[in-house]
Amino acid sequence: MTQATSAKVTKLNRVERNAWTKQKIFDAATKVVGKYGYAEASVARITEVADVAQGTFYNHFENRQELLDQLLPKIGLDMVHFIRARTGTADEARQEIERFSAFFDFIREVPEFLRILNEAEFFAPAGYQKHFDNISSAYLRILQRARAAGATSTFSDEEFEAIVQVLMGARGYLSRRYSYSEHGVTAVPDHVISAYRKLVTHGLFNVPDEETKS
Amino acid sequence: MTQATSAKVTKLNRVERNAWTKQKIFDAATKVVGKYGYAEASVARITEVADVAQGTFYNHFENRQELLDQLLPKIGLDMVHFIRARTGTADEARQEIERFSAFFDFIREVPEFLRILNEAEFFAPAGYQKHFDNISSAYLRILQRARAAGATSTFSDEEFEAIVQVLMGARGYLSRRYSYSEHGVTAVPDHVISAYRKLVTHGLFNVPDEETKS
Amino acid sequence: MTQATSAKVTKLNRVERNAWTKQKIFDAATKVVGKYGYAEASVARITEVADVAQGTFYNHFENRQELLDQLLPKIGLDMVHFIRARTGTADEARQEIERFSAFFDFIREVPEFLRILNEAEFFAPAGYQKHFDNISSAYLRILQRARAAGATSTFSDEEFEAIVQVLMGARGYLSRRYSYSEHGVTAVPDHVISAYRKLVTHGLFNVPDEETKS
Amino acid sequence: MTQATSAKVTKLNRVERNAWTKQKIFDAATKVVGKYGYAEASVARITEVADVAQGTFYNHFENRQELLDQLLPKIGLDMVHFIRARTGTADEARQEIERFSAFFDFIREVPEFLRILNEAEFFAPAGYQKHFDNISSAYLRILQRARAAGATSTFSDEEFEAIVQVLMGARGYLSRRYSYSEHGVTAVPDHVISAYRKLVTHGLFNVPDEETKS
DNA sequence: TATGAATGAGATTTCATTCAT
DNA sequence: AATGAATGAAATCTCATTCAT
């Protein structure tokens, strides 16, 4: 997916060679950041993994930050497609659980994603912003559509925006807590999924009777 | 709170002077990290703000990291006390909303907290770990007590652990989205609070009838 | 000899420029260590003399120590060649005196050598080790060959190893005592040479008759 | 010998307390330099071992260097006495072997001596100078007396001075090579002693007949 | 377009010495 | 005389970026 085809290098025209070099750098950055984090992703290290000279880097990217900021949005789109493909046509609550599970499946598919996502806020703020805009607007539409279908509790648009943050926060924190391990990324335990399902379907607290109308 | 009293400097004995200097460094670090982030919090900058020599720093802290790792747990305890003081004796759901609101109030009291919290995971992992252990164990006890009082839906201990992550993730992500602004920290909008209340009391989705037993 | 040719700098290709820069650093280090000693040979000072930026240093040497450890063995080889070229085909005792004299001649040729040699044990232990292995194994072979030619008193291989240490110690201590002076390095006095000759040809003490068989 | 009596500290008058503190620092320095070398002998480390405050150091020594420069001469005198006590009344050649052996015995008695001696040249030049003046003048007198007794080959005073350097160089280099080991200081092998004896009694090389008169 | 050596600012840390108490 | 916190200069090393070939 983010893998540069290692096919024949010969017989490429100028444009193709150019794109191929850029892709090599991009893939190298994904690997390096995914494995060692943004802080350790020096231009020297990235270009070494990409097997190009340091100077070559600057023929393709304005500076180090530009590349780092492109990392998350690109993989983020992969994630959206991955999740969409795994979401069925059951009722809305079930679909949300499917999306939730698919998120963790994606993390295992692309182990670099977790680190790239989590660190981006501080090391690639522009990329983080872009990714979050992508995700949250998509998520918001999903919720609005569910509401239109009468499948949700009563939430205003503004409240939905907040809910989107909560749901993304849940994924972010849970993945940090449950997906990291010594070597590689592990599957998320079932009780995490069930806890999430209960929360989004019934809430957390029983409400005393007289308050149920609020 | 984390502010060194700038009262009389004269007439302090050796022990007091020593503590006072350390506190000056600590306060300076809080300010600097809160304003510019850990990455920009060089020892040079911190000691400049603290108005001590760079060498003095190393009389009080083993190294830069040690100080950074102390920052979050210390302020985190302030937060716990702050929230506890603002939590009443109403029903459990209301108390949770009070805690939630109080969290955002605390952020406004100590504007540095937000940045110190959010960046700690990567720049002060030991401190982050300590803080999160503090918070999540306290939170877990709260939920268990509520469950014992029959105030929550049916969750296992393991599920509660996951819920704690979700609730902390909610605070983390919402505060990033709604509390930051150009200059300083703003109050969180009411619809964020109402969205949170609805989620924890009723959940997000209506569940089709035949599923209600699950 | 260890002097970078200051000839045309222009018209060098990349490889040549690279080697030339490294040689400039090397020569600068030789000068600096020779004049001020290892302790004062900071990277800042060396690069200033070499007229390159500090960062350039680390393109050519892993770290400061690596350079320092290369200094002695490199010049040490120059010394070996120098001495070998000055050693004739007279009897073994005379050859040893020639080598001894040539050692002091070399010191005057390369005045930096003395300090680089003497301080290396503590400031560049790896380089010192390498140099001494070079020298002592060569020296040992010389003695063994002389013994095979019946030109020495009766010594075992182990005793020869000790003798090598003594002969090197003699050069080391004598050069410290007689070659240093206010400014620059002076020739060694004749009586030093004659004393050495007498020692290695007749020993120091007359032996009472009854002991001569031991 | 260099050990501060750890007897009653109480009941000392001002002068005694003063001397006792100075001795504590001195002993600590001996230990530290002997074990870790001059370079690692920071004032902080020495005073910590001596169990006094850093500032106290400067009540007894002008500066760090002054102390370091006193170390070697003081222990050097101990060595002279030690060797003298071990030298018998046999013929001069045997006495020299006794002195040589006693030197290595002393090294084992006072293991710190070796390092303090070897590093002094560069880290405590003044102390090194003083020590060497002490030793070499004493040594010179020994040789002159032996010559007066007709026990040596024909050497002039100047040649004797050079010989003294050679003999000291022999001890220095041999001790570095044969006395150091992983932990502690080891006895010198017999073949080192026999090699030395042969050298000083018979010389190293057989001299062709026609040269024997030179 | 690719190369990779050169740059130099900036970061952390050490440590001999001072000095007020 | 003893204390130990404060000082600040100096050292090593990193790394994003430039630029001549």
Q: C61-101 pLDDT, tens per residue?
A: 999 999 999 999 999 999 999 999 999 998 888 999 999 99
User: Is the Cβ atom of A54 within 7 Å of strand F at any atom?
Assistant: yes
Count the domains in chain C: 2
Which residues on chain B are in Cβ contact (under 8 Å) with A91?
205, 207-208, 211
Among candidate residues A17, A27, A74, A75, the one with its CA nearest the CA of residue A49: A27
Distance, CA of D205 to CA of C167 (rounded, Å): 13
Q: With a cut of 60, say whether residue A8 has pLDDT above it.
A: no
Q: B198–A96: do the CB atoms touch at under 8 Å?
A: no
CATH number at residue C160: 1.10.357.10
Nearest one of C209, C212, C160, C203 to D201, comparing CA atoms: C203
Q: How many CA atoms lie within 13 A of A42 on its CB side?
A: 6
- pLDDT bin (cut points 50, 70, 90) of residue C16 is confident
Nucleotide closest to residue C64 (CA–C1') = F12
- pLDDT tens digits along A112-127: 999 999 999 889 999 9
Looking at residue C44, which CATH number applies to its domain? Answer: 1.10.10.60
Examine the domain organization and report whether D36 and D90 are in the same domain.
no
* C157 exposure class (CB count in 10 Å sphere: 0-12, 13-18, 19+): exposed
Q: Note the CA–C1' distance, C44 to F11, in angstroms.
A: 9
Both C82 and C169 in one domain: the answer is yes
* Within-domain flag for B80: yes
In a domain, D9, yes or no: no
Beta bridge partners of B185: B180
Q: Are D83 and D160 in a shared domain?
A: yes
Confirm whether D165 is domain-assigned.
yes
Token digits for B127? Answer: 């401190």
DSSP letters for chain C = --PPP-S--TT--HHHHHHHHHHHHHHHHHHHHHHH-GGG--HHHHHHHHTS-HHHHHHH-SSHHHHHHHHHHHHHHHHHHHHHHT--SS-HHHHHHHHHHHHHHHHHHSTHHHHHHHHHHHH-HHHHHHHHHHHHHHHHHHHHHHHHTT-B----HHHHHHHHHHHHHHHHHHHHHHTB-SSSB-PPPHHHHHHHHHHHHH-SBPPPGGGTT-
DSSP state of B188: P
Residues forming beta bridges with residue A39, ordered by sequence position? none
Residue B17 has a pLDDT of: 86
Asked whether residue C130 falls in the same domain as residue C204, the answer is yes
Q: Is residue D76 part of a domain?
A: yes
What is the Cα–Cα distance from C108 to C121, expressed in whole angstroms? 21
Q: Are residues B126 and B139 in the same domain?
A: yes
Q: Per-residue pLDDT averaged across D68-91, rounded?
A: 94
Count other Cβ atoms within 10 Å, centred on residue B82: 18
Q: Are B207 and A94 in contact (CB under 8 A)?
A: no
For residue B13, say whether its CB is under 7 Å from any atom of strand F: no
**Do A23 and A102 fall into the same domain?**
no
Q: D101 is written with which tokens?
A: 């052996």
From chain A residues 69-88, the ones with a CB under 8 A of any chain B CB are: none
Q: List, for residues B72-122, the tens digit of each pLDDT value.
A: 999 999 999 999 999 999 889 999 999 999 999 999 999 999 999 999 988
Among the partner-chain residues B156, B162, B189, the one whose CB lies closest to the CB of A174 is B162
In a 3-state reduction of DSSP, which class is residue D205? strand
Whether residue B205 is found in the same domain as residue B192: yes
SS3 state at B205: strand
Q: Cα B199 vs. chain centroid, distance in angstroms? A: 22
Give the C window 2-21 contacts with D, CB below 8 Å: none
Tell me if C1 is assigned to some domain.
no
The yes-or-no verdict on residue B214 having pLDDT over 70 is no
Interface test with A, best of B173, B175, B200, B210 (most A CBs within 10 A): B173
Same domain, B128 and B111: yes
CA distance A196 to chain B (A): 7
Decide if D212 is inside a domain: no
Q: Do C170 and D165 touch (CB under 8 A)?
A: yes
Closest chain C residue to the Cα of D158, Cα to Cα: C191
- The residue among A91, A100, A94 whose CA lies nearest residue A192 is A100
Question: What are the residues whose beta carbons fall under 8 Å from the beta carbon of C104, sequence distance 6 or more?
Answer: C175, C179, C187, C188
- Please indicate, yes or no, whether residues A163 and A131 belong to a single structural domain of this protein: yes
Q: A48 and A111, same structural domain?
A: no
Interface of A with B in 123-152 (CB under 8 A): 123, 146, 150-152
Tell me, yes or no, whether D174 and D123 share the same domain: yes
Are residues D186 and D152 part of one domain?
yes
B3 in any annotated domain: no
Q: State the pLDDT at residue D142.
A: 94
Task: Tell me the pLDDT tens digit for each residue of A157-166.
Answer: 999 999 999 9
Confidence band for C7, pLDDT divided at 50, 70 and 90: very low
The total of other beta-carbon atoms located within 10 Å of residue C188's CB is 22
pLDDT of residue B197: 95
- Is residue B6 one of the residues assigned to a domain? no
Burial class (CB in 10 A: 0-12, 13-18, 19+), A4: middle
Query: Can you give the residue range of the structural domain that contains C94?
Result: 69-211
The predicted structure's pLDDT at residue C4: 44
Is A158 within 8 Å of chain B by CB? Answer: yes
Q: How many CB pairs under 8 A join A and B?
A: 184
Count of CA atoms in the C-beta half-sphere (13 A) of A74: 17
